[in-house]
A and B are shown apart, each in its own frame.
Chain A
Amino acid sequence: EVQLVQSGAEVKKPGESLKISCKASGYGFPFYWIAWVRQVPGKGLEWMGVISPEDSSTRYNPSFEGHVSISVDNSITTAYLQWSSLQASDTAVYYCARLLVIFRYTSVYWRFLDSWGQGTLVTVSS
């Protein structure tokens, strides 16, 4: 059974750093991409970025690029989402999800997010 288990809720102050995790199990971790999705309270889903665990290549939503960093540790089948300096506007629930992709010729197409973590609530407040 595919499972993505995320780290627990965090309460931080503006300017602090944070790294949250997403532990995958039940499938070949290097061969499926991982996406991170944000949901601000009362708002919709926003795609933040994706990573290919096989080569650690990343792609970010321009709205988040430079503010967050996505990484993986294949040895422990875990993906991470990291901030160096949090802002109050980062208060949200963050989900990791397994992204199925398909390669056609020289292009890769993102098909869908088939399994999701339970979410990590990050609260940033002074």
Chain B
Amino acid sequence: QSALTQPASVSGSPGQSITVSCTGTSSDVGAYNYVSWYRVRPGNAPELMIHEVSNRPSGVSDRFSGSKSANTASLTISGLQAADEADYYCSSYTDTNTLVFGTGTQVTVL
């Protein structure tokens, strides 16, 4: 069961928009809309940012948005802020009744 592929790092200046990609296969990301995104700040537990491709939990800023095309999901952060610096992980349900996480992306605000 291979991890979903994410870029190791993405950076942007305050106020800019960045996009983090998450590439899987037709057995996971491409097969279901059960793709979610989690933010992990140093020393903190993961936080759910996006669920089921594009849904934001209450309390999550509308600067965070998600989408999917074929086997690749994406997380976009608009109006980048210093507080957005963290590691971001995608996750997907798979056709073998398992869960797989992405490799993780470090987001840096320049």
A residues lining the B interface (CB < 8 Å):
35, 37, 39, 44-47, 50, 59, 61-63, 95, 97, 108-119
CB-CB nearest in chain B for A48: B99
Indicate if the CB atoms of A59 and B98 lie closer than 8 Å: yes
B64 at the interface (CB under 8 A from A): no
Enumerate the 4 nearest inter-chain pairs by beta-carbon distance, A residue then B residue, closest first.
A112-B51, A112-B36, A47-B99, A44-B104
Query: Which of A62, A95, A110 lies in contact with B99, CB distance below 8 A?
Result: A110
Query: Which of B1, B34, B104 lies in contact with A45, CB distance below 8 A?
Result: B104
Interface range for B: 20 to 34
B85 at the interface (CB under 8 A from A): no
Query: Which of A61, A95, A108, A110 lies in contact with B1, CB distance below 8 A?
Result: A61
B84 at the interface (CB under 8 A from A): no
CB-CB nearest in chain A for B37: A112
- Which residues of B are found within 8 Å of A110, using beta-carbon distances? 34, 93, 97, 99
CB-CB nearest in chain B for A108: B97
Indicate if the CB atoms of A117 and B48 lie closer than 8 Å: no
Indicate if the CB atoms of B57 and A114 lie closer than 8 Å: yes
Main SS of chain A's interface residues? strand
B residues lining the A interface (CB < 8 Å):
1, 3, 32, 34, 36, 38, 40, 45-48, 51-52, 57, 89, 91, 93, 97-104
Indicate if the CB atoms of A35 and B99 lie closer than 8 Å: yes
Check A47/B103 contact, CB under 8 A, given A63-B1, A111-B51, A112-B51. no
> CA–CA, A118 to B44, complex, Å?
7
Check A45/B101 contact, CB under 8 A, given A111-B93, A112-B34. yes
> CA–CA, A69 to B102, complex, Å?
24
> CA–CA, A35 to B102, complex, Å?
17
Query: Which of B3, B51, B93, B100 lies in contact with A109, CB distance below 8 A?
Result: B93
